[in-house]
Amino acid sequence: MFLLLILKFLICGLTSETFRTILSVSETFRKTLPAIQRKLTSHPMTATLKDVARQSGYSVTTVSRALNGHDDVNEETRSRIRAAAEALDYSPNLNARQLQTRRAQSLGFIIPAEAQRLKEPFFMEFLSAVASEAAQHDYSILLSAHAPDAQEEDAYRHLAQSGRIGGMILMRARRHDPRVAMLTGLNIPCALFGRTGRDDGCAWIDVDGQAGVHAAAQHLLALGHSRIGHILGPDQYHFVGERQAGYASALAAARVPLEPDLIITVEHMTERDGYAATRRLLELGRPPSALIAVTDLVAMGAMRAVQDAGLRVGKDVAVVGFDGLSLTAYTSPPLTTVAQPTEEIGRKLVAMAVAQIAGDESFPKNELLIPRLIVRESSTGDQSKGQVLL
């Protein structure tokens, strides 16, 4: 319409009079257009501090302070402002707040791109604990999965630099974990599940895998097994070394020689790889009569391999897992496993991250938890109810 107007004037010829008119029209238009656009495009019903200020008759500054509980505001003023905010259904725009304060009440969590991994029940149980503990602290979780093609480190960097998170929860610490270095460089506090092995000042919680596997091996030795297979994960993880140490120490204590043949490494800690590894172990000249697997999922693969070989799990070949997934109570037979307190770990990691963000130096920065061995039929072979040992 405006263009038509111009066109019309152009056709009629321009006098300085009409030109001034155009300018004034254009001026009005320029002023009213944004308002119109705003009405049309923006979420119409989201009140801002300005709205509350107008409604209550105070300045934006005062409103901000009143709603944030500063003590330099008259109580009567505060209640008026509160009423206005309530009436308008005001709730703060966190983008603006986070931009201004450079703080964010969210923790980042990145899940591996590979969907299989994400479906690992362990991830989910962990995440559930993390999310609910975060809620207790009034934090939310920003869940991100890096695109399959992208660099892992970039994914972490983008999230960290996006300004939307105040800290980060990391899983599966690796020996020389590039993520940790990067995040501390960016001044993003992080809480790590697992140890990197060197003291990089990062907060962590870990489970004593050495003690756990030691207990598992001891349990199997006590049952009379002397050929115990050990299915390990990739060496890049610090815990793999720990686990192997626990295995070795238990055998040594029982004066059982350590046979390299019985120790095998899987590339991915999946059911599939557990199955394959177990097949190889069972095909040995003198196969093991018991197995310790790096993960419950790997152990489930192992159980299937044992059964497919015509052997009975628990009777012919004892199987022990590691993780303590709730799933393991329902397998047939139920799986003996070294249980990590998944929920406790998730909760404590969040608490650590939050404490660090708040600058609370007194909060413990790391903790080593002792796992507990849950004995079930997959190792004992009997039908009695499962019991919990240390």
Partner DNA sequence: TTGTAAGCGTTATCAT
Partner DNA sequence: ATGATAACGCTTACAA
Q: Based on the shown chain and the rule CB under 8 A, indicate whether residue 332 belongs to the binding site for a copy of itself.
A: yes
Q: Considering the complex, what minimum distance in angstroms separates the CB of residue 116 from a copy of itself?
A: 10
Whole-angstrom Cα distance, residue 81 to residue 58? 8
Q: Choose the one of DNA, a copy of itself, none that binds residue 332, judging by a C-beta under 5 to 8 angstroms depending on kind.
A: a copy of itself
Q: What is the dihedral of CA 132, 137, 139, 143, to 10 degrees?
A: -30
Taking CB under 8 A as the criterion, which residues in 159-188 touch a copy of itself? 159, 161-164, 185-188
Whole-angstrom Cα distance, residue 68 to residue 357? 19
Q: Based on the shown chain and the rule CB under 7 A, indicate whether residue 59 belongs to the binding site for DNA.
A: yes
One of 14, 147, 252, 253 touching a copy of itself (CB under 8 A): 147
Phi, psi of 14 (to 5 degrees): -100, 125
Cα 222 to Cα 34, 193, 252, 261, 379, distances in angstroms: 80, 32, 14, 22, 11
Token pair 């707040």 is found at 97
One of 32, 61, 79, 326 touching DNA (CB under 7 A): 61
Q: Choose the one of a copy of itself, DNA, none that binds residue 383, judging by a C-beta under 5 to 8 angstroms depending on kind.
A: none
Whole-angstrom Cα distance, residue 204 to residue 128? 19
Q: Mask 55-94, x = binds a copy of itself (CB under 8 A)? A: ----------------------------------x-xxxx
Amino acid type, 196: T
Q: Choose the one of DNA, a copy of itself, none that binds residue 88, judging by a C-beta under 5 to 8 angstroms depending on kind.
A: none
One of 28, 32, 74, 128 touching a copy of itself (CB under 8 A): 128
Stretch binding DNA (CB under 7 A), from 47-55, 186-194, 344-352, 381-389: 47-55
Q: What is the dihedral of CA 235, 236, 239, 244, to 10 degrees?
A: 10
Cβ distance to DNA smaller for residue 160 or 349? 160
CA angle 271, 280, 282 (to 5 degrees): 100
Q: Based on the shown chain and the rule CB under 7 A, indicate whether residue 74 belongs to the binding site for DNA.
A: yes
CA 348 from centroid of its chain's CA atoms? 13
Q: Based on the shown chain and the rule CB under 7 A, indicate whether residue 236 belongs to the binding site for DNA.
A: no
Q: Based on the shown chain and the rule CB under 7 A, indicate whether residue 64 belongs to the binding site for DNA.
A: yes
Full 3-state SS string of 324-390: CCHHHHCCCCCCEEEECCHHHHHHHHHHHHHHHHCCCCCCCCEEEECCEEEECHHHHCCCCCCEEEC
User: What contacts 346, CB < 8 A, 6 or more positions away?
Assistant: 125, 126, 127, 128, 129, 130, 133
Q: Considering the complex, what minimum distance in angstroms separates the CB of residue 56 from a copy of itself?
A: 18
One of 46, 74, 236, 387 touching a copy of itself (CB under 8 A): 46
Taking CB under 8 A as the criterion, which residues in 87-106 touch a copy of itself? 89, 91-96, 98-99, 102, 104, 106
One of 22, 77, 121, 365 touching a copy of itself (CB under 8 A): 121
Token pair 């009409």 is found at 18
Cβ distance to a copy of itself smaller for residue 43 or 255? 43
Q: Which string of DSSP letters, residue by residue, matches 261-279?
A: GGEEE-SS-SHHHHHHHHH
Cβ distance to a copy of itself smaller for residue 233 or 333? 333
User: What contacts 34, CB < 8 A, 6 or more positions away?
Assistant: none
Stretch binding DNA (CB under 7 A), from 65-73, 197-205, 343-351, 352-360: 65-73
Whole-angstrom Cα distance, residue 229 to residue 263? 6
Residues contributing to the site for DNA (CB under 7 A): 30, 33-34, 42, 46, 48-50, 57-62, 64-65, 67-68, 72-74, 77, 90, 92-93, 96-97, 99-102, 163
Please report, as ranges, the residues that interact with a copy of itself according to CB under 8 A: 41-46, 89, 91-96, 98-99, 102, 104, 106, 111, 113, 115, 118-119, 121, 123-125, 127-129, 131-132, 134-136, 138, 140-147, 157-159, 161-164, 185-188, 300, 326-327, 330-332
